[in-house]
Amino acid sequence: MTEDASPLISSTELAKKLGLARRTISHYAKEGLITPALVTPGGQYRWRYEDVVAEMRELAKARRQERD
């Protein structure tokens, strides 16, 4: 994970940047596919955009290797 390189953003903000639904972001987090930088005491996720993009690239790479 990146050390404070970028600001924390909400799931809604992350979803907009990625072109996904907010529920998709929450689903991916609950499945362990992406990891939030922080979970608030109220259970809300906070993200570092660059970290999520890197995790999603690795996930896509692994899935491509599984198909080959």
**Each residue of 8-66: pLDDT tens digit?**
999 999 999 999 999 999 999 999 999 999 999 999 999 999 999 999 999 999 989 99
User: Global pTM?
Assistant: 0.83
HSE-CB at 60 with a 13 A cutoff on CA atoms is 6
Predicted confidence at residue 34, as pLDDT, reads 97
Is the distance from CB of 14 to CB of 49 less than 8 angstroms?
yes
Nearest alpha-carbon partner for 29 in 47, 54, 5: 47
Separation between Cα atoms, residue 17 and residue 25, nearest integer Å: 11
Predicted confidence at residue 67, as pLDDT, reads 87
Predicted confidence at residue 4, as pLDDT, reads 59
